[in-house]
Structure 1
Amino acid sequence: MVKFLKPNKAVIVLQGRFAGRKAVIVRSFDEGTRDRPYGHCLVAGIGKYPKKVIRKDSAKKTAKKSRVKAFIKLVNYNHIMPTRYTLDVDLKDVITPDALQSRDKKVTAAKETKARFEERFKTGKNRWFFSKLRTEDQMRGEANYDEEGEVDGHVGALLGFPFWVLQETLFPKRFIFNGFWLREVVCGRSLAGNQWS
């Protein structure tokens, strides 16, 4: 089988506290380890996205809005969705599996990751990585178009096909995504997860 979950591949976390967040693979363990005998990877992602900056914002407010909160996590392959993008940020020297063993090392690694993500955001590289994923309802009001004229920033754009191509058969019946059942969003109804009928 072809190994495509390689370092620097951008992914979307599907389960847990950071579900719906974008992340990048730092290291992959296809064969698993003794502690985790299944395929998994070490990811670094964005826990809190930067806010939109407008022209009238002061320098202090701009700096505050440009903050990024990062997370580091070991994730099962079943709980991530790979995208077609890669992120050329080198985090291997900062984030190691040993860094997750003690709290002090993890905090230090997360701070260094945060600094590198913020630096990349401020230089304007990989802008797509620093924007929240949006649902179809959110896209109706506003749309960002990329160079090819396709709507950018939603699930389909990251996966390589338009959002409306997503079918109910593509995902399990109760697939949770960003606080909504994706099945309901695809069907045009935006029911919250706890209102499933």
Structure 2
Amino acid sequence: MSLLQAGRFVVMLQGRHAGKKAVVLAAYPEGTEDRKFPYAIVMGIEKYPKKVTKDMPTEVLVKKTQVKLFVKAVNFNHVMLTRHNVKDEDFFKKISVEKVVAALKDAPAKKALLTEYASVLRQKYLNNKMAWFFKPLQF
């Protein structure tokens, strides 16, 4: 049994998303026919929401609370496990792992999927769910 399971938060260690937080959607410790190494499908935040104040206009609030996502298949060696889990029960009801795996092979489908899931995560940010996930790492 691997510690890297669906619903665990990880920190990306390699590549263009190094230092970004992500959540494991699916883990394949034995690999698959496509990828013969242990890997996980992760969804993370590429661009974190900015800080907002009460006196900002609505247009500025909407722009500053946008979330930009990435979805990736990543080797187990390139992520660092954290102690945090997804505690939100309806997270995996709104985010379909099968759709994400299918979209990884098709660029237009992946773009549409990221736009759809960005709005889901934006609502979680506005409702103050998974607060740790929406703050960038402090170096």
Q: TM-score when scaled to structure 1?
A: 0.65
* Greater Rg over alpha carbons, structure: 1
Bigger relative CO (Cα 8 Å, ≥ 6 apart)? 2
CA contact (8 A) 1:94 1:113 kept: no
Q: Distance in 1 between matches of 2:79 and 2:7?
A: 14
Which residue of the partner structure matches residue 131 of structure 2? 127
Change over 3 Å in CA distance of 1:93–1:43 after alignment to 2: closer
Q: How many residues align?
A: 134
Tell me, which stretches of 5 or more residues in structure 2 are unaligned?
A: none
Quick one: distance in 1 between partners of 2:121 and 2:98? 13
CA distance in 2, matches of 1:25, 1:10: 6
Q: What's the CA shift for 1:92?
A: 2.6
Distance 2:117 2:82 in 1: 21
**CA displacement at 1:56 relative to structure 2:** 1.8
Which residue does 1:29 correspond to in 2?
28
What secondary structure sits across from 1:32 in the alignment?
coil
Among 93, 115, 120, the alignment partner of 1:111 is 115
Label 1:67 to 1:94 Cα distance change in 2 as closer, same or farther (>3 A).
Answer: farther
Shift in alpha-carbon separation, 1:109–1:32, aligned structure 2, 3 A: same
Q: CA RMSD, aligned part only? A: 1.3
Structure 1 equivalent of residue 64 of structure 2: 65
Q: % of aligned pairs identical? A: 36
How far, CA to CA, are the matches of 1:98 and 1:72 in structure 2?
12
TM-score by length of 2: 0.91
Paired amino acid for 2:124: R
2:17 is matched with: 18
Q: What secondary structure is seen at the aligned counterpart in 2 of 1:98?
A: helix
User: For residues 66 and 23 of structure 2, what CA distance do their matches in structure 1 show?
Assistant: 18
Matches within 5 A, 1:93-172: 93=97, 95-135=99-139
Deviation of 1:58 (Å)? 0.8
Runs of 4+ in 1 over 4 A off after TM superposition: none
